[in-house]
Structure 1
Amino acid sequence: MIWNETMECMDREQLREIQSQRLVKMAEYVYYNTPFYRKKFQEMGLEPGDIKSIDDITKLPFTNKLDLRDNYPFGLAAVPMSQIVRIHASSGTTGKPVVVLYTRKDLAMWSEAISRAFTAYGAGKDDIFQVAYGYGLFTGGLGAHDGATNIGASVIPISSGNTQKQMTLMHDFGTTILCCTPSYAMFLGEAMKECPWSRDEFKLKVGVFGAEPWTEKMRKKLEESLGIKAYDIYGLSEIAGPGVGYECEHQCGTHLNEDLFYPEILDPKTGEPLPEGQFGELTFTHLTKEGMPLLRYRTHDLTALHYDKCKCGRTLVRMDRILGRCDDMLIIRGVNVFPSQIEDVILKLPEYEPHFLLTVDRVNNTDTSELKVEVKEEYFTDDMATMVGLQKKLEGELRSVIGLGFKVKLVEPKGIERSEGKAKRVIDKRNI
């Protein structure tokens, strides 16, 4: 099924004309409404009138996560806060979150994008969605909720956790569509084997999984354990949230909603555009957003784009699976984690050396994280109660700043191996 055939299957020449019209308007919009971009334009000797078509997008300035952090919380707003009806946030490179702002029109645009995704998965008004993404500042829960509501489906806003209740409601309410992270879906698959009902007694048919990387191997495991068809949904808070991209029934790439978010693939080092099919850094420009539009936002995701028409009939560009990132960000249980965040926390506390080793693994289909940290000589002691106190203090501070629980293991000074080259701060053992 196709939600918006006009836009999703449009002739590419027509689509390009729409993109050009919207980019011209957006360049003028941010120049007059966002001081950050007006200053950027002026520094580059650029005027809104210099943008005449989508071909001129390379003239526009880049935006990165550091810009969002530096303008925390509302410095990139293009409208008065009286017009902002939703605020979401995700973890950034320091304790300050990356804030994103939405007007009513922005929320409608986001719901449109997710509706396209859900419809591509075969969902409709007769379905019952169980949204097990986290609700709150994270975009997953409310984003999926609004998209399912927009197509007329029923929604169970259960959020994440409480697995026993998840299984009970999934069975009793007749859930047909499950939305959550792939790792939590694996956990639910195991729980289904242990619950009082057989898999045949569930009505589940489709899984919508995102917020963390996963592979074809994991897709097959999910489909086998839950008896479903598993689909990937792509998004990032800075651009909208889930629904920036989605798979169709052929699953030969992720269709990007390029009438709303214009994608480019750049050389990560030079910032120069790369040709079709070549892997590089994915960059997005908002074409319709009002509240906090971004120009050429560098995602650091490494992928490639393909513009040939899909077998499903959609002409929207298709993106390959994300190969990785051109920075050091980790995604642990759906939370963005940077080694620099951890270092920042450790350096603020007097008891610890700035030497640590983070080991990330996946046990029983759930991400685990162990953080070894050196204690300064004057604080290191054989007194167990004192050391436990130091451990709990650091764990609490990490959870407060990063929003994720770490298992902290304190070691004596010089207890972590030194390197003559670049320090090894992270060991990721996950095979997903």
Structure 2
Amino acid sequence: MKYWNPEIETMDTETMKSMQERKLHNMVRLAYHHSPFYRKLFKENGLSPADIRTLDDLTKIPLTKKENLMEQPKDFILQPTEVTLRKTLPTSTKLRAAFYDKLMSMQKVTSELKEEYKPVMFVVSSGRASGMPTPVFYTKKDSEILSECGARIGTTIGGTEDSIFHIAFPAGLHMAFWQCVAASDTIGALSIRFGAGMTDKQVLIIDKFGVTDMVGVPTYTKHLSEAAVRMKEEGHDVSFSNLKNVLCAGERFPEGMKKRILENLEAVGADCRVLEGYGSSECKTSFVECAPGSGFHLHPDVHIWEILDEKTLEPVGEGERGVLAFTHIDFRGTVFLRFLTHDVAERGIVYEKCECGRTSPRIMSPIGRMHEYSTKINIARVKGTNLDLNAVDDLLSEIPGLEAYQAIITKTDPKDPYSLDEVIIKAGIEKGKESDIEKLIISRIKNSFEITPSIMSIDTLTLEDELVEKWKAVRVVDLRGV
């Protein structure tokens, strides 16, 4: 099966634009009448739903930021009342309601409205900066969209009803795990819903059940692939020969890490692709590549995406670097108009038809996910030098023999904010190569950034356990001022 929903996935440009503008105007009406946050925002800015009818009109709406959500998450939930519903219900529904009312039976219409608007589940968005996760609510209608988009994702990476999916995302209040479950159910495929942890047992299950498609966070997927190699070297009859597709999402995914995962999987018999996904709890679904480097295929019937200049927050051209923002056009529950993600797409958004035949817009990787780090920015000034935290991650991921790592920016005296900056590399190094790899790390960091780090050698498995303990591994940490 090449496409799950060919009508949407291969829609021509003009039809797509018309669909998005129709859905946008309807969503703006819903948000204006049913969302406390957007009703207030529109009134404060002298806007009404009539002002937003085209894609070009979207920029009239002020951007929504993560801080707004954290301050008042309930105000982003659509909360219709009998009065506001009269303003937004389609005429056909009003006529049906009047008819059923005469028959003294409003049960059917009421049931449909509950399915559309009543929250039935929530996931959480990560709250690294504040330490507090923020809920994002789904209605039954939203759950159906999650399943539909999940089925498109599963099909995009090559899944069919004959596939066997292994889900290694952490279970809990995280959207990725539940969308994978919904995707496999909708496609009709068998799925092993393991979550993260008990890694050796996962290796044996992937082998025994002949898993064809595996999904997980990059750091944990690397950990699992290394466990498979280790177990084979220890004499276990481990074979991943049926594995065809590995999808990683949830954190930054350096090329060096992709290469290592692929090498490890090939060492245990896999002939597979390593693909990348992108998404967030706020946007309420995920997006994937159809092939390595193809870009993340968006769902044009669910969102409108923008790419904005990082400084001015004005729109930039196709294929240009910028920060991503999205607008929901078909969800209920928690909804956002022009939500600023703070994620930077290095190669922007492209609209040309993909080689796979899909016409949906694509966000081109890599994406610099600023909130991956423990600071709100990804450029840190260390010892008077601007240090690109993404570049540090990339550099360390490429060093052969460095099996796990975490770069820590701190002070020589953590209690004294005026003491000297210090960069410490916690390094899990291949046995027998400790001295050579430590010298290589110091040399490459010094040559690239004019900073000499200290090396803290640590057992690889211990360090990996530390990194995969949380939902997202933080491989570069700035502790100054914490």
**TM-score, length-normalised on structure 2?**
0.69
- Change beyond 3 A, Cα 1:229–1:406: closer
- Structure 2 partner of 1:48: 49
SS in 2 for 1:329: helix
Equivalent in the alignment of 1:185: 221
Partner of 1:57: 58
Q: Are 2:310 and 2:322, in contact at CA under 8 Å, matched by a contact in 1?
A: yes
CA contact (8 A) 1:23 1:287 kept: yes
Name the counterpart of 1:6.
Answer: 7
Maintained 8 Å contact 1:285/1:297: yes
How far 1:79 moved relative to its partner? Answer: 3.4
1:273 equivalent to 2:308? Answer no
Equivalent residue letter for 1:66: E
Is the 8 Å Cα contact of residues 35 and 78 (structure 2) preserved in structure 1?
Answer: yes
Distance in 2, Cα, partners of 1:290 & 1:301: 24
> 1:405 & 1:37 partners in 2: Cα distance?
34
> Is 1:89 the counterpart of 2:115 in the alignment?
no
**CA offset at residue 339 of structure 1?**
6.2
- Whether the aligned pair in 2 keeps the contact of 1:32 and 1:38 (CA below 8 Å) is yes
Pick one of 222, 233, 258 that aligns with 1:219. Answer: 258
1-structure distance, mates of 2:263, 2:144? 35
Per-residue Cα deviation, 1:52-75 (whole angstroms, up to 9, x for no partner) = 222211112211100111114x23
Residue 380 of structure 2 corresponds to none
**In the aligned structure 2, how far is the partner of 1:200 from the partner of 1:229?**
16
Are the equivalent residues in 1 in contact too, given 2:164–2:213 (CA < 8 A)?
yes
**Does residue 113 in structure 1 map to residue 149 in structure 2?**
yes
Structure 2: which 5+ residue stretches go unaligned? 81-113, 378-388, 417-466
Deviations 1:242-263 (A, max 9, x none): x2x2111364222111221111
Residues 95 and 249 (structure 1 numbering): CA distance in 2 closer, same or farther, change over 3 Å?
closer
Distance 2:257 2:35 in 1: 42
Q: Give yes or no for contact 1:100–1:237 (8 Å, CA) kept in 2.
A: yes
Map 1:384-395; keep pairs closer than 5 Å. none
The 1:268/1:178 distance shift into structure 2, 3 A limit, reads same
Gap change, CA 1:287 and 1:405, over 3 Å in 2:
closer
Q: Contact 1:339 / 1:425 at 8 angstroms: preserved in 2?
A: no
**AA in 1 matched with 2:168:** A
- Counterpart Cα distance in 2 of 1:204 and 1:292: 37
1:381 is aligned to none
Once residues 329 and 209 of structure 1 are traced to their aligned partners in structure 2, the CA distance between those partners, rounded to angstroms, is 18
Looking at secondary structure, tell me which structure has more helix per residue.
Answer: 2
- Measured on the aligned residues, the alpha-carbon RMSD in Å equals 3.0
TM-score with structure 1 length normalisation? 0.76
Partner letter of residue 333 of structure 2? G
The Cα of 1:267 is off from its aligned counterpart by 1.2
Residue deviations 1:35-84, cap 9 Å, x none?
Answer: 11011101111000111222211112211100111114x23111379811
Q: Give identity over the alignment, percent.
A: 34
Q: 1:369 to 1:406 in 2, by over 3 A?
A: farther
Q: Partner residue of 2:276?
A: 232
Counterpart amino acid of residue 23 in structure 2: R
* Number of residue pairs the alignment of both structures matches: 361
Q: Which residue of 2 aligns with 1:285?
A: 327
Query: How much does 1:217 deviate?
Result: 3.8
1:351 maps to what in 2? none
Q: Is 1:157–2:157 an aligned residue pair?
A: no
State the Cα distance separating 1:369 from its structure 2 match.
6.5
- 2:17 match: 16
Give the Cα–Cα distance (whole angstroms) in 1 for the partners of residues 247 and 367 of structure 2. Answer: 20
* CA–CA separation in structure 2 for the residues paired with 1:14 and 1:403: 39
- For the 8 Å contact 1:187–1:365, the answer to whether it is kept is no
Residue aligning to 1:322: 366
SS at match of 1:213: coil
Report how far residue 101 of structure 1 moved: 0.6
Could you tell me how far apart the structure 1 residues matched to 2:252 and 2:156 are?
20
**Match for residue 357 of structure 2 among 290, 297, 313:** 313
The yes-or-no answer on 1:70 pairing with 2:106 is no
Could you give the per-residue CA deviations for residues 160-182 of structure 1, whole angstroms, max 9, x where no partner exists? 01111111211122211111112
